[in-house]
Structure formats: C-alpha cells, structure tokens
Amino acid sequence: MFNSLSDRLTTTFKNLRGKGRLSEADVDATIREIRRALLDADVALPVVRAFTGRVRERALSAEVAQALNPGQQVVKIVNDELIGILGGETRRVHFAKRPPTVIMLAGLQGAGKTTLAGKLAHWLKADGHRPMLVAADLQRPNAVNQLEVVGSRAGAYVYAPEPGNGVGDPVQVAKDSMEVAKSKLYDVVIVDTAGRLGIDEELMRQAADIRAAVDPDEVLFVIDAMIGQDAVATAEAFQQGVDFTGVVLSKLDGDSRGGAALSVAEVTGKPIMFASTGEGMTDFEQFHPDRMADRILDMGDILTLIEQAERTFDKKEAEKLQKKVEAGEDFDLNDFLSQMAAIKKMGSLKKMMGMIPGMSQYREQLDNFDEREVDRIEAIVRSMTPQERANPKLLNGSRRARIAKGAGTTVTAVNQLMERFSQAQKMMRQMRSGGGGMPGMPQMP
C-alpha cells in the first residue's frame, strides 16, 4: 500500500536531509514534489492544497530555520501533517454500555462490506466477544450465502431470513435480529447492508431505515481504496444519506495509489477506524494514523507487527519452546515446524516485512518475494521423519535425497535449508548465552 507515494516522498526527503540550511527555494521545491506525489496518488485536490499549505507555512517558520537539522525537521512536519489528515488520534470502537453493541456496515456494492463483516467478527472473537452477523443485504441474490460463508470462516453465527420466505424485508430482518442477539446473548451485532454499483436514493433510504430500526453504536462506511478520485463524492453522499461514525478502507493491499485513504478523513471529518488488506480473515487491522504516517514515510510500523504477533502466537507453544531453550536443549526441526505454522497464521510474510523500517530500499526484493517459499520449506521439513526432525545430524546424503524426492524438490534446496537451520540454531545458542532477542522467534530463513 502507498508504495509509489512512499518511494516518491522518501526520495524527496533524501535530497533535503543533509542540508544545513534551507532557503525558501529549497522549501518550495520540496513542496512542489510533495504536491505532485500526492496528486499522482489520487489525493483530492482540496486536501492536497490544505496539506501543502500547512507544511509550507511551518517549513518556513523559525522552528525550522533554527533547527539543528532543518531537513529532518521538515520530515517531522510532513509526518505530523500526515497524521492530521489521516484523522489524528486512533479511534477505537465504542462499545455499548449495555450489550449488544450494534455495528452497521454501509457502502457501495463491491466495496468489501461482506468480507469485512467476517473479518470484524474474527477480530472481535479474538478479543473475547461473541459476535453475530446479520444478513440485511437481500438485494443481491448471493449475498446471504456469501455472508454465511464468511461467518463460518470466522466461526460466527449468521442471522438470515429463512430461504423460501419470499424476498424479505431487510429493515424487518435487522429489527428481528436485535431480539435474537439479546436472547442468545451475542454481545456484538454486525449488520451487513445492501450496496449498489452507484449512489442511488433508494439505497440511501433503505440504509437510513435500517439505521433508524437498529440504532447502531457505530455505522462504518466501507470504501474501496482503489476508487481514486471518486472517493470524496461517494463519501460525501453516504455522509448525507446515512451518516456514519467511522470509515473502513478496504483493498489497501492492491496496487492502489491510496488517495482515498488520504482524502476521506479530512473531507468528512470522520475517523478511519480499520484497514482491510486482503481476502483472508486476518488481512485486517485497526487503523492508527500515526503508524500509517510512519509507513508512508518508510519509518516502518513495528508496533503493528508486534501486535499481530501477539494476537496470533500460541502462548503455550512459545513458553514451551522458551523452557526448552532455557534448559539448554537445542531448538530442533519439530520446533521449527510449529514456528512456521505460527508465522503462517500471522498472514502474509511480505506484508509483515513491509512494516520493517527502511524496507523501501528493498522494494524490488520484497515485490519479488514468493510467499510459497514458506510452503516449500514446510514441505521439506514435513518429508522428514520425526526422528530426523529431532536430530538433524541423522541427515546423511541418502536421507537428504529421499527427503528432496518426497518434497518434490532438489537435494540442493534441502542442503540450503539445513545450512540456514544450523545458522538459526547457532543464533539460538548465542541468545541463550547472551540474552536478549525475541523469545520464541527464531531467525527466519
């Protein structure tokens, strides 16, 4: 996400960093670059104007002229202002004092509402909630079915009208669902509503009626980050028609230029609350304006990385491994296999690596990174017997040949893996003697 914007801004600042003094011409040249980069990223013109105006004014002020490193100071100003247009503080879900908390989803057809309903349920479950999904999208023939599919992936109950009971009235379905939630003790109700390809009055009226019927604690407007310049008009129409309390940006994983992200919060004054970054249940994160600004300026996002690790790692497994290491036992390939499974559960490795500071200089390697590499490594380890995994020293030439055949790969690939594994093992020993490092996280090959 934001790759090209991020690369352009990073290049612009590189030219600025070493300068001891900044002339007005330097500042203006920088502002021009920023302006072009934002426009090319499809950020709405009024937002670009306001943003560059504020950056320019601050960059020419005494705070910069007197700074030890004026170039660095300008980067900080851009960072601050980016946080500003992304909405400032992190905005978390407001839960109702008395459950159920009702979250209604609105947006155009194809924006990603149904997928989001599943992701939200999955995310809430990890936090100990009992979410229920409501199919109030009765427009699209397949919508109820699709919600049932995402519901089962998230392990959440789906309330939908019985098939064969006519088309059904979405407002009534939404109303009824509140009673169901109360009687079955679901504490969060996520109401999926119908979208249309374009903005139309009937759609808005229906969404407004559902809103009136369920009195939601949150109304989330879901917008496809790829729609570019249309983002502002669509967001404004939904703000007038239904009104919403927060924004969800979907498809931020695409090759999108990200303009919607940078325009919608500023234009509507409503916070971005979540970002959707893929089709999987875990491709979803809480939106933090400050961390997103850091990512755009290639300063990484270690906090999100750690949080995702904490959410998915099995604490018992990690503790078991730590005990083993502390007891002076070697980390073996069985441990390696369970670590691989844990890492895979965190989602895309490419995405995780993208959160490491300074990664933009490795963009090409990152883009070429093949996620299936993890599966290939796993296939090799799975082709070993448990004894071999526990004692890699057993792996002589003929065993390696057998393993390569079993995993559908070459002996060279098996050798490479074993080489990297023995390096990782060495690192674990060093960590043990020297302390430090991340517990339970061996060096990834």
Site residues, ligand GDP (CB under 6 A)? 107, 109-115, 195, 250-251, 253-254, 276-279, 283
Q: How far is the CB of 375 from ligand GDP (least distance, A)?
A: 20
Q: Please report how close the Cβ of residue 279 comes to ligand GDP at its closest, in angstroms.
A: 4
Q: How far is CA 274 from CA 60, 233, 362, in A?
A: 35, 20, 27
Question: Rounded to whole angstroms, how far apart are CA atoms 27 and 6?
Answer: 19
CB of 250 to ligand GDP, least distance (A): 4
Q: Is 284 or 331 the residue whose CB approaches ligand GDP more closely? A: 284
Helix (H, G, I), strand (E, B) or coil at 346: coil
Q: Give binding residues as ranges.
A: 107-114, 192-196, 250-253
Min dist. Cβ of residue 369 to ligand GDP (A): 18
Which residue numbers belong to the known binding site for GTP?
107-114, 192-196, 250-253
Pick 170 or 442: Cβ nearer ligand GDP: 170
Which residues are CB-neighbours of 159 under 8 A, at least 6 positions away?
Answer: 132, 133, 134, 135, 173, 176, 177, 180, 181
**Residue 177 vs 250, nearer CB to ligand GDP:** 250
Q: The sheet that has 131-136: what strands, in order across it?
A: 157-159, 131-136, 188-193, 101-106, 218-224, 246-250, 272-276, 284-286
Count helices and strands in the chain by DSSP H and E runs: 21, 8
Residue pair 131/188 in contact by the 8 Å Cβ criterion: yes
Q: Which C-beta is closer to ligand GDP: that of 50 or that of 199?
A: 199
Residue 188 DSSP SS3: strand
Going from the C-alpha of 6 to that of each of 13, 51, 167, 276, 288, the distances in angstroms are 11, 16, 47, 19, 17
Distance CA 332, CA 104 (A): 48
Minimum distance, C-beta of residue 41 to ligand GDP, in the bound complex (Å): 18
> With respect to ligand GDP, which residue has the nearer C-beta, 203 or 414?
203
Q: For residues 109 and 239, which CB has a smaller minimum distance to ligand GDP in the complex?
A: 109
